[in-house]
Amino acid sequence: MVNCEGNPGWFEIIQMNLDLEETELDSNMVDSLFSFTALSKNWKPLEFKEEPGNYYMYLSYRIENGKVVEIIP
């Protein structure tokens, strides 16, 4: 969730393999992606009906052979 000031705050991490089955991924990689995702500079406030508001954003990182190949919003 991103608040009306553009600060991210509530996260849920779901780890899956390429067959979309829940699995444990490399914890260093997960921590690194979380740290990047949680940086306030990567988020902007959004306006709804000309007023700033909170919003949810869902992100998926597609990882193949240990490398991020796609970020899916």
**pLDDT computed for residue 13 by the predictor:** 93
Q: What confidence tens digit (pLDDT) does each residue in 37-60 have?
A: 888 888 888 888 888 888 888 889
Average pLDDT over residues 16-44: 91
- What is the Cα–Cα distance from 40 to 54, expressed in whole angstroms? 14
Mean pLDDT of 2-14: 89
Return the pLDDT at 7: 87
Q: Which of 23 and 6 is assigned the larger pLDDT?
A: 23
Read off the tokens for 2.
């991103």
**Predicted confidence (pLDDT) per residue in 10-20, tens digit:** 899 999 988 99
Domain boundaries, the chain: 1-15+44-73
The helix or strand, by DSSP H or E, that contains position 32, with its residue range, turns out to be helix 27-37
- Cα separation of 35 and 63, whole Å? 16
